[in-house]
Structure 1
């Protein structure tokens, strides 16, 4: 996986700044309480710059909740991976690295917003598919022809499908930021992740 160039890093920083501004405004005012002009003013960019990255405010809001801001860390992790490690274990480590409490919290907030504002839903699906696609590309690079065709698609589909119930509240899984009282009847995220991958290892 190639390292980002300085230009790539600047583009990513701009996209993140616009998305973060949109997400903050959505949290503060609701999706109907602001327009693109408010986003660019808060982020310090022009409408033209916004148009280079996002088609509308909904897309920008969704992007903020799925953008992972640790690309360099992931690249270093991939370069240090044991070539003999299974793809399942590689994906497990990636999920532990990427799905921090903050990231999951923002994803949950995004899903909650979509229940109030259905226009967000297609952008959530698109953004979440982007996360899955990135993981798929990483696994394809790591597989080096060691696995049957289609294996990486099945693996990423199963894992990302199992993440969705964490975001929409279907499963009682708590994050490290939750109090002990809130988590009394819940499993931890790490416990859920371990259970999920143990099922995949054993083939259910």
Structure 2
């Protein structure tokens, strides 16, 4: 690996460590009980290093979900000769089998407890979907305009279901002790894929 490649790898690892430490501390102690110094002490870096990656704690907390998705994308292997919908379904199942759902659920809970996180969480969600779409285009070599349009439609449908159904069902579960929202959202995604398969032929 080149020197530049090593630097980028180290930067990515530092960003990931700062995001994870901030997320873990805020989840365990509450937002107001965590300082940037707590985060930098846990990671073993300076305050200036934190500032090189994040402007504030809220941004670092939300970034953990993006980093989790990136890790999942890096470990996903697309099915051989899969069409677009099969590949996207494979990727969704891969992400849901890892840490992503638990992190997503924890972020929704944190946002309900700490509303100042919401704008950063919404931005992180958008980065998740755009990063995932770009990864699919690159991995599958999607260059045909109509296939790219199909990808936009599929990703939009999935974004809508996860970003709206998940918080609604998480809130219902908290209020009424119902099933974990992940199971409910995963079933909703099954229905979305069935409808998309019928619509895309």
Instruction: Please report the TM-score for the alignment, with normalisation by the length of structure 2.
Output: 0.80
Distance in 2, Cα, partners of 1:106 & 1:73: 17
Post-superposition shift, 1:70?
A: 3.8
Partner of 1:178: none
Distance in 2, Cα, partners of 1:24 & 1:102: 14
The one of 67, 73, 86 equivalent to 2:75 is 73
Task: Please tell me whether the aligned partners of residues 161 and 185 of structure 2 are also in contact (alpha carbons under 8 angstroms).
Answer: no
Gaps of 5+ in 1: 175-180
Post-superposition shift, 1:160?
A: 1.7
Offset from partner CA, 1:24-48 (integer Å, 9 cap, x none)? 1111221111111111111111111
Task: Please tell me whether the aligned partners of residues 172 and 178 of structure 2 are also in contact (alpha carbons under 8 angstroms).
Answer: no
Distance in 1, Cα, partners of 2:38 & 2:171: 36
Count of paired positions? 190
Matches within 5 A, 1:171-190: 183=179, 187=183, 190=186
Post-superposition shift, 1:183?
A: 4.6
Post-superposition shift, 1:149?
A: 5.5
Offset from partner CA, 1:78-118 (integer Å, 9 cap, x none)? 4xx434x2211111111111223532111111111111211
Provide closer, same or farther for how the CA distance between residues 125 and 201 of structure 1 changes in structure 2, counting only shifts above 3 A.
same
Partner of 2:150: 151
Distance in 1, Cα, partners of 2:72 & 2:8: 14
Provide closer, same or farther for how the CA distance between residues 133 and 21 of structure 1 changes in structure 2, counting only shifts above 3 A.
same
Distance in 2, Cα, partners of 1:37 & 1:168: 31
Offset from partner CA, 1:116-148 (integer Å, 9 cap, x none)? 211101110111111100121123332231625
Provide closer, same or farther for how the CA distance between residues 7 and 70 of structure 1 changes in structure 2, counting only shifts above 3 A.
farther
Residue 119 (structure 2) pairs with residue 122 (structure 1): yes
Matches within 5 A, 1:157-172: 157-170=156-169
Partner of 1:43: 43
Provide closer, same or farther for how the CA distance between residues 47 and 133 of structure 1 changes in structure 2, counting only shifts above 3 A.
same
Residue 106 (structure 2) pairs with residue 109 (structure 1): yes
Instruction: Please report the TM-score for the alignment, with normalisation by the length of structure 1.
Output: 0.79
Residue 17 (structure 2) pairs with residue 20 (structure 1): no
Offset from partner CA, 1:42-62 (integer Å, 9 cap, x none)? 111111111121111001111
User: Please, what is the CA RMSD of the aligned residues?
Assistant: 3.1
Task: Please tell me whether the aligned partners of residues 19 and 61 of structure 2 are also in contact (alpha carbons under 8 angstroms).
Answer: yes
